[in-house]
């Protein structure tokens, strides 16, 4: 299932505040003069929806609908959940999801990389956080706090004990200050590093896991466009990427597409691409599947034919291996005897 545009996209989120324009000055770090945030206006990005399994897509859709109906909920005495923490392994589509959710509300995004708020000057980080939230609270926007765990990394430095306390307190107070004014999305790879009090400030907590087989097939299909390859090719990519993330599948598919451009439609290129990826990314693939890519053809074809998820026909295997169906059948049969 692919997330579609929100069914009620026409009823925009009624978030209070002044309107951000391209001339609105963005707060800067006083020491370095670096901007503390990037403003992204809806017409500038048309993010594509990420692909997740159905349960996540339904949950995401319901959050968007709630946000699009903020005022109706409030009129009826209900408190919408205005803050969402998205967490999960790197490369699973969290930033893409957040940008897409924000785009569905049709209001600008104030994108903050927490790294950029952290200053080497004592006390400045907390002040940056304060300035940034004051800015976000003033305008109609989605506040997107990406790589939220950066704050937690300060903890590794024993000299920073005082500073981290100040920073976490500043974050807590400022997250509270947004409770009634805006929509906030936080993103982290390391939910365990987050201070539990920070964690609790987010009303919705959405875990994005590594994609399952069916979702990997869809992700592969999404990135292969505008090329069209048979379903068996997509299934094979998904099967060998057990445990991989959307970003890794995207990378394999890009390599595969490049190989298709040089000499169209040459079948064995898929296996070549997978082998190359397995060699260059040895830690990323499931070791037993990886080994299979380099084992003898009979063994590989037999698994392709017999595996529950793949169950490819001899003809399909032939189309992947560049051989005819009877050769595949003979190869598989020979070893099995
Ligand atoms: N489920 C998915 N559907 C579609 N594309 C995906 C998916 N997961 C990852 N991608 C692609 O992988 C790349 C990385 O995605 P993204 O930056 O959103 O990941 P992330 O979870 O924010 O990673 P990090 O934690 O490292 O910041 C993007 O190009 C994105 O399109
Ligand atoms: Mg990200």
What is the full per-residue pLDDT of the chain (337 aa) written as tens digits? 556 655 444 446 678 899 999 999 999 998 889 999 999 998 787 778 999 999 999 999 999 999 999 888 888 988 888 999 999 999 999 999 999 999 999 899 999 988 788 877 777 888 999 999 999 999 999 999 998 888 766 666 666 677 778 888 888 999 999 988 889 999 999 888 888 888 899 999 999 999 999 999 999 999 999 988 899 999 999 999 999 999 999 999 998 888 887 765 566 789 988 998 888 887 878 889 999 999 999 999 999 999 999 999 999 999 898 889 999 999 988 745 5
pLDDT of residue 140: 94
A 10 A CB-CB count for 25 gives 7
60 lines ligand 1 (CB under 6 A): no
49 lines ligand 1 (CB under 6 A): no
Domain map (residue ranges) of the chain: 38-207, 213-336
Q: Whose CA is nearest to atom 26 of ligand 1?
A: 90
Distance 191 CA to ligand 2 centre (A): 13
Distance 230 CA to ligand 2 centre (A): 31
- Residue 170 CA, distance from chain mean position: 27
Distance 198 CA to ligand 1 centre (A): 24
1 lines ligand 1 (CB under 6 A): no
Residues composing the chain: 337
- From the CA of 222, give the closest atom in ligand 1: 4
Q: Which fold has domain 38-207?
A: Rossmann fold (3.40.50)
């Amino acid at each position: 299932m692919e997330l579609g545009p929100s069914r009620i996209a026409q009823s925009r989120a009624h978030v209070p505040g002044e309107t951000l324009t391209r001339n609105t000055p963005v707060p800067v770090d006083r020491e370095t003069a670096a901007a503390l945030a990037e403003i992204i206006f809806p017409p500038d990005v048309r993010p594509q929806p990420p692909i997740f399994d159905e349960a996540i897509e339904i949950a995401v859709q319901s959050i968007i609908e709630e946000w699009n109906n903020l005022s109706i909920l409030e009129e009826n005495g209900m408190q919408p959940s205005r803050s969402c923490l998205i967490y999960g392994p790197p490369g699973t589509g969290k930033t893409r999801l957040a940008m897409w959710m924000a785009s569905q509300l049709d209001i600008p995004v104030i994108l903050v990389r927490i790294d950029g708020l952290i200053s080497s000057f004592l006390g400045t980080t907390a002040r940056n956080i304060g300035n940034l939230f004051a800015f976000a609270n003033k305008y109609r926007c989605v506040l997107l706090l990406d790589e939220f765990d950066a704050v937690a990394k300060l903890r590794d430095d024993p000299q920073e004990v005082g500073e981290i306390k100040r920073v976490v307190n500043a974050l807590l107070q400022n997250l509270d200050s947004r409770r009634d004014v805006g929509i906030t999305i936080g993103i982290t790879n390391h939910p365990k590093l987050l201070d539990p009090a920070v964690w609790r400030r987010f009303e919705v907590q959405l875990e994005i896991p590594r994609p399952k087989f069916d979702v990997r097939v869809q992700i592969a299909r999404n990135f292969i466009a505008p090329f069209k390859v048979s379903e068996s090719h997509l299934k094979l990519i998904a099967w060998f990427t057990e445990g991989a993330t959307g970003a890794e599948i995207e990378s394999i598919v890009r390599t595969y597409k490049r190989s298709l451009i040089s000499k169209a439609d040459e079948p064995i290129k898929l296996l070549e691409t997978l082998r190359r990826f397995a060699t260059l990314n040895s830690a990323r693939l499931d070791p037993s599947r990886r080994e299979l890519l380099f084992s003898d053809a009979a063994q590989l074809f037999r698994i392709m034919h017999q595996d529950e998820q793949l169950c490819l026909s001899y003809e399909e295997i032939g189309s992947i291996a560049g051989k005819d169906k009877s050769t595949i059948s003979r190869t598989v049969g020979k070893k099995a005897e």
